[in-house]
């Protein structure tokens, strides 16, 4: 087979790869934009494009002049309006590529640290004490950590429960966990501006969603009204979790090796029984 015979085949494969990549990018972008404020804005842009086409087709000079300047300024307006969405899309792509330099914090939690977090959350939920715990992953949270009270303390059940005790000055705000340590407490986070969020969710839940919209962090929320546990990752909320479900999510998300699962589950159940008996 000659080289010239292989060229059409190579061109076909290249075109298919080109189309597939464009399809994937468009699909991911549409998935990220679904349910956000970007959707009605995009509809408005499409309407402006139709009006511009009508102005050209029917020689509407004034309308064409106005829309021509709108088209020139449109890219700058898109950057300003969709800054958070663009940032979230870039973070999404970067986290899916998983370059070695971006995976330095994958699998950072050991079993003992995990136990401390889950037991603390379970205790707070049982006593209906509001709490918000944010776990940093690949995207740094230094800007938010600096706004709180910096601790740099080891993750422990006693410290987490004490921080969120309503009688302590640090209970209002979030705890940020970074590299297996409690980096800061009483951290105030940006609230989500998503209009699709249920009105049933309070400020704590909206802050948990807000921090995950602009970063790849995960949030764990305990409602002080109902004592329910909520998991937030990106735009996904999983509510009314029990200890087992919360543990499973942490293991899967942080890529913790499932070693000694039965033993750890037994320890958690024993601790829950002791708390209920107490």
> Nearest-5° angle of CA 242, CA 247, CA 253?
125
Task: For residues 210 and 175, state if they share a domain.
Answer: yes
Structure tokens at 209: 């969603």
- Model confidence band, residue 103 (pLDDT cutoffs 50, 70, 90): very low
Task: For residues 97 and 136, state if they share a domain.
Answer: no
**61 or 219: whose pLDDT is higher?**
219
pLDDT digits 0-9 by tens, 139-182: 788 888 888 999 989 999 999 999 999 998 888 889 999 888 89
Domain boundary among 81, 101, 121: 101
pLDDT on residue 107 = 37
**Are the C-beta atoms of 91 and 215 separated by less than 8 Å?**
yes
- Model confidence band, residue 92 (pLDDT cutoffs 50, 70, 90): low
Task: For residues 212 and 256, state if they share a domain.
Answer: yes
Residue 3 has pLDDT above 60, yes or no: no
Phi, psi (degrees; rounded to nearest 5) at 247: -65, -45
Distance between CA atoms of residues 25 and 225, nearest Å = 41
pLDDT on residue 15 = 78
Task: For residues 23 and 149, state if they share a domain.
Answer: no
CATH at 175: 3.40.1700.10
pLDDT on residue 101 = 44
Give the global pTM. Answer: 0.61
Task: For residues 160 and 85, state if they share a domain.
Answer: no
Distance between CA atoms of residues 218 and 162, nearest Å = 22
Distance between CA atoms of residues 140 and 211, nearest Å = 11
Task: For residues 82 and 167, state if they share a domain.
Answer: no
Task: For residues 180 and 205, state if they share a domain.
Answer: yes
**Are the C-beta atoms of 63 and 51 separated by less than 8 Å?**
yes
Distance between CA atoms of residues 115 and 42, nearest Å = 45
């Amino acid at each position: 087979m000659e080289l010239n015979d292989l060229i059409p085949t190579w061109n076909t494969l290249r075109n298919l790869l080109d189309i597939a990549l464009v399809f994937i990018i468009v699909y991911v972008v549409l998935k990220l934009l679904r349910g956000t404020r970007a959707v009605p804005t995009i509809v408005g842009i499409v309407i402006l494009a139709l009006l511009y086409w009508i102005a050209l087709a029917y020689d509407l000079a004034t309308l064409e002049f106005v829309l021509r300047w709108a088209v020139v300024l449109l890219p700058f307006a898109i950057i300003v309006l969709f800054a958070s969405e663009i940032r979230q899309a870039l973070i999404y792509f970067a986290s899916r590529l998983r370059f070695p330099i971006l995976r330095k914090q994958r699998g950072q939690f050991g079993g003992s640290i995990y136990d401390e977090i889950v037991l603390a959350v379970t205790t707070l939920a049982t006593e209906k004490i509001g709490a918000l715990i944010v776990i940093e992953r690949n995207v740094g949270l230094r800007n938010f950590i600096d706004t709180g009270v910096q601790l740099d303390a080891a993750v422990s059940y006693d410290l987490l429960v004490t921080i969120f005790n309503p009688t302590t000055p640090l209970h209002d705000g979030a705890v940020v966990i970074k590299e297996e340590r409690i980096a800061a407490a009483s951290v105030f986070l940006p609230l989500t501006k998503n209009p699709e969020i249920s009105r049933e969710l309070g400020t704590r839940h909206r802050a948990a969603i807000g921090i995950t919209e602009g970063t790849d962090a995960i949030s764990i929320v305990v409602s002080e009204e109902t004592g329910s546990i909520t998991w937030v990752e990106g735009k996904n909320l999983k509510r009314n979790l029990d200890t087992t479900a919360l543990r499973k999510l942490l293991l899967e998300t942080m890529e913790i090796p499932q070693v000694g699962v039965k033993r750890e589950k037994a320890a958690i159940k024993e601790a829950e029984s002791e708390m209920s008996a107490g």
